[in-house]
Amino acid sequence: METELSKFTKLKEDLRSLENRKIRIEEQLKSKKQDLQELVLKIKESGYDPKKLNEIIVEKEKALKEQIQNFETKLQKASTQLTAIEV
């Protein structure tokens, strides 16, 4: 009988532990959902569609690369012109 009582007591402790873990996980989920909602709101406030972020990122990366290339070209041209003046 003692063994069964100790098993039952252990099972009750395990149940309490699992219930506590479940509560913590539910709270984490609630917090993450709230964070996600806030992020989606910020994205929308910035004028972007959250469902099209991948397309927007590709577009912005392309524009940035073009700007960098244009800047590099202008910088090389200015360097060439300065070199011509220095000679």
- pLDDT value of position 76: 96
Residue 66: predicted pLDDT: 97
Phi, psi of 47 (to 5 degrees): 90, 15
The domain spans of the chain are 1-47, 49-87
* pTM of the shown model: 0.60
Yes or no: say if 50 and 44 are a contact pair by the CB < 8 Å rule: yes
The mean pLDDT of 19-23, rounded to a whole number, is 97
- In the prediction, which pLDDT does 2 show? 76
35-44: burial string, b at 16+ Cβ within 10 Å, e else:
eeeeeeeeee
Cβ proximity of 40 and 50 under 8 Å: yes
